[in-house]
Each structure stands twice: as C-alpha cells, then as structure tokens.
Amino acid sequence: MRITVFSDYALRVLMYAAANSERLITVGETARAYNVSRSHLTKVVTFLTAGGFLRSVRGRAGGFTLAMAPKEMSLGAILRRTEANITHTSGRGAGKGGASATPASLRVILDEAMAAFGATLDRYTLADIVLPRAALPRLIGQNSTDRVDDHPAETERQSQRRYPGSG
C-alpha cells in the first residue's frame, strides 16, 4: 500500500506540530524544515484545519498547532481523511461500459485487506510516531545549532494550554 504525497505531507505537518507543541508554527517554517513547496503545504494545513486536526491563528503572530493531543489522533483517522480510497476498492478502474475492472470475488478480498489495514492504523496514534524534538534536525538534514524558527515570539499564548479539553 502506497500513500499519496498529500498524506505523507499531512503526517509530516502533524509530526512537526506535535514536536513543537509549545508554540505556534508557520507553513513557511514547516516547508523549509522539510524542503517542500510552501503552496502545497498551505493546502495540506488548510485541509487538516478543516478536518479538526489543526487549530490555526490568523495574523502576524499567527500560525498553527495541533487541535488535540497527539495520543488522541489515530493514524487510521488521519489517513482515512487524507486518502480517498483507503477504505474501498470497489468501483476502481471502471472498464468499458462503466463495469468495474475488479471482479466481485477479488473486491471482497481487497475490501477485507483494506479493513485490516485500517484497523492496524487505528491501533497507533500520532504520539507513536512523533520523534523527540532533538531528533528533528538530524531527520531533516540540519545542524542542531541551525534554527528553523523565524516565527515572532508568542506573548500570552505561551502560557495557554495547547490542547483544550485534554487532561
């Protein structure tokens, strides 16, 4: 099973936000950290915000952060949201006359396999894949002394809890 680039970027954004949960982060910062397109990440962040995974703050000192604790975000829920065909195989690859290219007997097996795939992902959360912040520079090819953050310092938001409603 291969995930789309969109899903890969979504997981990276969520991992980066989790590793930097003490502050708001920006799309530009995240794009530089992973050396990916800022415009593509903007779409990903917008999608994740609409899906309830991220919380965004507008304005000069704005940015985004996780909308809930990493342990509350199952990988299955994230990927079901970002991958259009993760749960179904039926109807894919319609042949001539609109008939499915996948025989019904095979579709049943593929649907069962996809359900097992989803169930496995549901057993893991974002917290299971987030690296400690100290490991991020090595992962993204930076010296540990390089700063990714060019975000203006937060003032009163620094003392606010990042995950409303979690204990």
Same domain, 114 and 141: no
Q: What's the pLDDT band for 131 if we cut at 50, 70, 90?
A: confident
Q: Give the pLDDT of residue 90.
A: 52
- Whether 39 and 105 map to the same domain: the answer is no
60 and 3, same structural domain? yes
pLDDT band at 11 (very low <50, low <70, confident <90, very high): very high
Same domain, 88 and 133: no
Q: Is residue 167, in this structure, part of any structural domain at all?
A: no
pLDDT(37) > 80: yes
Average per-residue pLDDT for the chain: 79
Q: Which helix H or strand E contains 57, and what residues bound it?
A: strand 54-57
Coil, strand or helix at 56? strand
Q: What are the C-alpha distances in Å from 153 to residues 156, 157, 158, 163? A: 10, 10, 9, 19
CA-based angle 107:113:118, to the nearest 5?
A: 125
Where in the sequence is the domain holding 109, given as residue range(s)?
A: 74-124
Q: Do 88 and 117 belong to one domain? A: yes
Residue 160 has what pLDDT? 42
Contact (CB, 8 A) for 125 and 70: yes
Task: Render pLDDT for 80-112 as a digit per residue (tens, 0 to 9).
Answer: 999 876 655 555 555 555 555 678 889 899 889
- Per residue in 145-163, pLDDT (tens digit) is 444 444 433 433 433 444 5
Classify residue 139: in a domain, yes or no. yes
The pLDDT value given to residue 98 = 55
Decide if pLDDT at 25 tops 70: yes
Any domain includes 90: yes
Q: Do 120 and 152 belong together in one domain?
A: no
Q: Are residues 110 and 145 in the same domain?
A: no
Report the distance separating Cα 134 and Cα 160, nearest Å: 23
Expressed in angstroms, the distance from the first to the final Cα of the chain is 35
Same domain, 1 and 44: yes
**Residues 66, 35: one domain?**
yes
1 and 66 share a domain?
yes
Q: Does residue 1 lie in a domain region?
A: yes
DSSP state of 86: S
Share of the chain above pLDDT 70, in %: 68
Quick one: pLDDT at residue 57?
A: 94
63: domain CATH number is 1.10.10.10
More confident site: 143 or 159? 143
Number of structural domains in the chain: 2
Q: State the pTM of this model.
A: 0.70
For residues 139 and 100, what is the distance between their CA atoms, to the nearest angstrom? Answer: 42
For residues 24 and 46, membership in a common domain is answered with yes
Residue 117 forms part of a structural domain: yes
Can you give the pLDDT at residue 104? 86
Helices (H), the chain: 5-19, 27-34, 38-50, 75-82, 104-122, 126-129, 136-140
Any domain includes 25? yes
9 and 65 assigned to the same domain:
yes
Q: In this structure, what are the phi and psi dihedrals at residue 113, rounded to the nearest 5 degrees? A: -65, -40
pLDDT top residue among 166 and 153: 166
Range 52-67 average pLDDT: 95
